[in-house]
Structure 1
Amino acid sequence: MDGGDGGTPTDDGDGGDGMDGGDGPQSGGTMNLINATMTSLDPVAVGDTASGIVANQIYEPLFEYPNGEPEAEPRLAANYDVSDDFTTYTVELADARFQNDGGELTAADVIYSWERLAAAENTARSYFILDSLNIAYETNDEGAYEPGTLAIEAVDDKTVEFTLERPFHSTLEMLAYGNFAIHPENIVGDVPGYDGQIDQETLATSESYGTGPFVLDHWESGEEAEVVRYDGYREEDRPYLDAINWAIIEDDEAEYTYSVNENADMLEIPTGQYDPGKVNVENEEGDKAFGTYGPLDSGSASGEEVNYMRVPEISTRYLAFDIPNTPRAVRQAAAYAINRREVSDSLFKGRQPPGWHFTPPSIFPGGAEAYDEHVQNEYPYGIEETLIDEARQVMEDAGYGEDNPYDLTINAYNAQVYVDIGENLRDKLQAAYINVSVEPTEFATIIQRGQEGSLQAYTLGWIADWPAPDNFLQLLAPEFSDVQELGQQALSYINWNRSDSEYATQAQEAWETISDNLEPSDEAEQARRDAYLQIEEANWQECGFINLTHGLGERFWYDHLHVEPHGGMGGSRQRHGETWKEQ
């Protein structure tokens, strides 16, 4: 699943690279890239990484992850101040002008944008502002948000102040999330008190009103999207590029062919076409490695080496089950059968490190060393091995056998490596009385079927919205997994809230502890840390999610492109105002 501009499944990473200025940046040209299926460019409705990649070039929030680095910095915020109790934030706005003559950025635009995030019909992440960030608000008789009551006000035209119901340890990081991007007051009339100038469908598909370096030129669903230089952008002589074009390509082989024929400036090299022996790391800078990849073996670039970069990515990839509709024995058998080292080395060809927790190592309580220690001491199913005898035994104990097998359908994200993972598991589980059917499925279809409650098992991934364990573990929170209750607002489709198991209770209680201890204090942090482990261990026992790997972002690019390397929050968070292309 995704988290807005984060969390969509990826076959490989999308890496990063370095500037080697030569004679200095040149203006002009179109950067050609590849993207997956997009769903919306309305800032509050963006719910997948592919849409977020494009929207991020158009819209800007008050804070950002510069080049995808995990430390939030001001973007549309010129200055800010925080009260001693960490509940009141006062933000002075930068000078910026909206595209399509949307006017100057004011505090009223911030108030309107966040009201849409909280209350618009098409909002994808209302819980981010109402629950996670928890800006104070009033409720109606049903206990739901009363529109127009967010505790946010204009101090003056260029200063906005908002108050949280309680302190939150990742406030600035949350405000860097793409759904908090600012757009002009009253541009759409989909919240009370605003009539609107255009309809929501227009904002979502064909017109843009951001403050970013690029403005939407066109989006042809399933074909391509293109943004062009915004001449009113506030940074002098930026962006360097005239345009960015994304070809929408879902098929691995088609992505690779498009890339090696030099149609894309950044190449997509799916795992099926990837050769780890062609990676040559020449130097390392911090957590990033730089070098070359090649020679390429086909296309017009055959024989060439291209630039290469990799960085650990704060993400996870998983197999998930609808808990009430899939027996625990089946889920446990799958956990016994999956060998993460095999998945990492053989199926991902070493491109994605194996993962046992849902929380990635870099943000795990205590870091990577504590991550490994907890796995070694507590993981119940075998760490780097397939335990097929145990898988068979747990199924026999549940009453299954050769004459009474269980039928399981896995909707695997339609990238070959995810299909391979499903088929690898299928072959193993035959010996444990489970007949697995693997159905390659487009991302949008997985989301649709998940919201309909018609998935039995599925593979997806999640990249950080903000770099903290609670951003990942919210997917495990039973209260956020109830599709029947939440519909499109459900964060996952495991329906753990509809299970009466002791592990569901343990997970819900752990999540409530997290939710009750969100302030930036040492005491609250320790309470969260303990609860993080409790919810991870509850999931291990329940096997609602079986984690597979964590992310390693990779990027491949031709010499004529110059783009800053990105950090662990992923290349999808990178704005390309500084990117340039040799002419």
Structure 2
Amino acid sequence: MPSFKHFGQGGNVIFSIGKSPDRNCRICIFAVGCLTLEAVLALKWLTQIEWHVTQSEETLHMQLLSIRKWVCLCLLAFATGAASAATINIHNGGDPTSLDPHKLSGDWENRIAGDIFEGLLTENAKAEAIPGQASQWSVSDDALVYTFSLREGIQWSDGTPVTADDFVFAFQRLMNPETAAVYAYLQYSIKNAEAINTGAITDLNELGVKALDDKTLEITLERPTPYFLGALTHYTAYPLPQHLLETAGDDWVKIDNIVTNGPYTPVDWVPGSHVTTEKQAKYYDAENVKIDGAKFFVLDDESAALKRYRAGEFDILTEFPTDQFEWMQENLPGQARVAPFAGLYYYVINNSKPPFDNPDVRKALSMSINREVIGPQVLGTGELPAYSWVPPGMANYDEPYSVEWKDLPYADKLAEARALLDEAGFNKDNPLTLQLRYNTNENHKRIAVAIASMWKPLGVQVELYNTETKVHYDELQRGVLDVARAGWLADYNDADNFLNLLKSTVEHNYGRYNNPEYDALVDKANATVDTQVRAELLHQAEKLAMDETAAIPIYYYLARNVVSPRVTGFEDNAFDVHRTRWLELSE
């Protein structure tokens, strides 16, 4: 153990703690002794203190008071198994596009945003909605008007109070077409939100979000929305610091300018490398936030991430190479965590580009994928095959619609797929060629290689093409694809969160599926109060999209995390949301 030396201001009182098998015991005795000046003499023997006193007794007394404060902290550090307030290192996958909540769309961005901002509601360790910036709320009898009371004393990280006007400002900015927020549709249940976002209404003040006073916010809905409170935990519902945006404009989000209202605030961002946060002292529950900060690392290579985890560089991996699962179970017992959660892994097909605008071609590609082997054999972690667009278990949606050919033997599926392609004019002499895109990731590559081999008996020639995550989704957004890998994780517990993805007006509809009948069914469902009737309308919409192979569902997600034994408070949950606020880090 290195020696501890204390120097008083202008003095030279020196304490050197020598090495000894019972040094922890001696340190504890030393701490107790420091509580009184008289005990110092006794400590000389107990701790082998080498000392020189040239100051007055009064000066020495002040120095000892300083030592006493230091030792109190020292005692905490020496306690066996004590929690550490150090920075937690998290493998985060992709590179964030921005720290602006209105510019985000990926789960790798959500992990950061949910640590530095907080909405009216937030998530607990189990990803359940709990009070956030709002301490309480009430709902009108017709379930259309929600009135929220903000907590007393909530502040931005620069000390400016968080007010109801900050929420009004943020919701109006979200719906302003000039913001071009790709996720704005998530809050379309708010009165006039869709009309404003699509330009039908130009007055932002017509949005159903009003500040009744600094601490009271009223939100009026278009229709009763059972999932509305859950949607308020999403980053599209975070407040924004109006005072900063009005002076700094788009530069408000730069690391030297940004202020936040969550448990943490960003202090460093190196694009392509990491984002670093530190505990936000003005957060209302700061005293219960155990970890001092987090570092979110950009790294798409899962094998490299696992190596760095084993070297102690990471405390949490948000993904791992599935071919290493068995090894991790044996060599890292209890650290590789696999749990079901509400998400869909799927392939996008460009519905607007020949020959993929032909439903028979799309159906052939979907039928010829042997989903039954992907989870247990290709990945090795047991993901369940997906034949529906909505994952099972969504609230008020008992039975998702599965494609009619789900239970056919695989040989029959392959034969029908071959016949469909032949009818479309594709055969050995005129093979279907396509580019299959995926974001750089070993598991995505493994799946793409397997599916390309499943298409090969049909004569389909596949070019595999991969890019880093940000570029991949930018290109999907622009429609630069034949077939491409994508995925969706539930933002709230409702089937419409998945079915909205296939609406023609939604920017996450990467495949450009466009069916007015489908749009009308989803819109009608979302305008329906009766939950049973609503579910039936959504079911009809799902059947229509699956019968036309609007996209190719492949499997339902399993969350795959690796968590160090040093980390406590990490709870597997259906949304795979794990805010740093609820975690602790031990030595």
How high is the TM-score relative to the length of structure 2?
0.80
The answer to whether 1:168 aligns with 2:172 is: no
Map residues 99-118 of structure 1 onto 2, 5 A cutoff: 99-118=156-175
Inter-partner Cα distance in structure 2 for 1:321 and 1:141: 26
SS across alignment from 1:472: helix
- 1:349 aligns with 380
Compute the displacement of 1:306 (Å). Answer: 4.6
Identity of aligned residues (%): 22
Inter-partner Cα distance in structure 2 for 1:137 and 1:318: 27
Map residues 49-448 of structure 1 onto 2, 5 A cutoff: 49-69=107-127, 71-119=128-176, 121-129=179-187, 131-134=188-191, 143-188=200-245, 196-203=246-253, 206-267=256-317, 270-276=320-326, 293-296=329-332, 305-325=333-353, 326=356, 327-363=358-394, 367=398, 370-371=399-400, 375=402, 379-380=404-405, 382=407, 385=410, 387-448=413-474
Contact residue 476 and residue 535 of structure 1 kept, 8 A: no
Inter-partner Cα distance in structure 1 for 2:499 and 2:447: 23
The answer to whether 1:471 aligns with 2:497 is: yes
Q: Deviations over 1:370-416 (max 9, x none)?
A: 45xx54xx522556735322211111112221111111111122212
Compute the displacement of 1:315 (Å). Answer: 0.7
Inter-partner Cα distance in structure 2 for 1:46 and 1:456: 24
One of 572, 575, 580 as aligned partner of 1:576? 580
Compute the displacement of 1:272 (Å). Answer: 4.4
Q: Where do 5+ consecutive residues of structure 1 fail to align?
A: 1-21, 189-195, 279-292, 297-304, 481-489, 498-503
Q: Where do 5+ consecutive residues of structure 2 fail to align?
A: 1-78
> Which shifted more, 462-471 or 228-237?
228-237
SS across alignment from 2:99: coil
Cα distance change on mapping 1:419 and 1:141 into 2, 3 Å: closer
One of 522, 541, 564 as aligned partner of 1:511? 522
Inter-partner Cα distance in structure 1 for 2:392 and 2:198: 43
Q: Deviations over 1:11-31 (max 9, x none)?
A: xxxxxxxxxxx9886351111
SS across alignment from 2:217: strand
Inter-partner Cα distance in structure 2 for 1:23 and 1:113: 46
Compute the displacement of 1:463 (Å). Answer: 0.5
Contact residue 217 and residue 228 of structure 1 kept, 8 A: yes
Contact residue 323 and residue 379 of structure 2 kept, 8 A: no
Cα distance change on mapping 1:350 and 1:273 into 2, 3 Å: closer
- 1:454 aligns with 480
SS across alignment from 2:288: coil
Q: Deviations over 1:167-221 (max 9, x none)?
A: 2221111111112112322321xxxxxxx12232441655432221111011111
> Which shifted more, 50-59 or 156-165?
156-165
What is the CA RMSD across the aligned residues, in angstroms? 2.5
Contact residue 340 and residue 384 of structure 1 kept, 8 A: no
Compute the displacement of 1:321 (Å). Answer: 0.3
Q: Deviations over 1:60-96 (max 9, x none)?
A: 0001232253x42221111111111111111100124
Cα distance change on mapping 1:351 and 1:140 into 2, 3 Å: closer
The amino acid across from 1:416 in the alignment is E
Contact residue 58 and residue 216 of structure 1 kept, 8 A: yes
Cα distance change on mapping 1:542 and 1:136 into 2, 3 Å: closer
Contact residue 409 and residue 437 of structure 1 kept, 8 A: yes
Q: Deviations over 1:211-232 (max 9, x none)?
A: 2111101111101110011122
- 1:47 aligns with 105
Q: Across the two proteins, how many residue pairs are aligned to each other?
A: 503
Following TM superposition, the consecutive aligned residue runs of length 4 or more in structure 1 with deviations greater than 6 angstroms are 22-25
SS across alignment from 1:41: coil
Inter-partner Cα distance in structure 1 for 2:497 and 2:319: 29
Inter-partner Cα distance in structure 1 for 2:116 and 2:396: 35
One of 533, 546, 557 as aligned partner of 1:527? 533
How high is the TM-score relative to the length of structure 1?
0.80
Compute the displacement of 1:142 (Å). Answer: 5.6
Identify the structure with the greater helix proportion: 2
Cα distance change on mapping 1:358 and 1:164 into 2, 3 Å: same
Cα distance change on mapping 1:68 and 1:455 into 2, 3 Å: farther
> Which shifted more, 243-252 or 305-314?
305-314
The amino acid across from 1:570 in the alignment is D
- 2:560 aligns with 554
Inter-partner Cα distance in structure 1 for 2:317 and 2:327: 17
The amino acid across from 1:183 in the alignment is L
Is the radius of gyration larger for structure 1 or structure 2? 2
Cα distance change on mapping 1:570 and 1:527 into 2, 3 Å: same
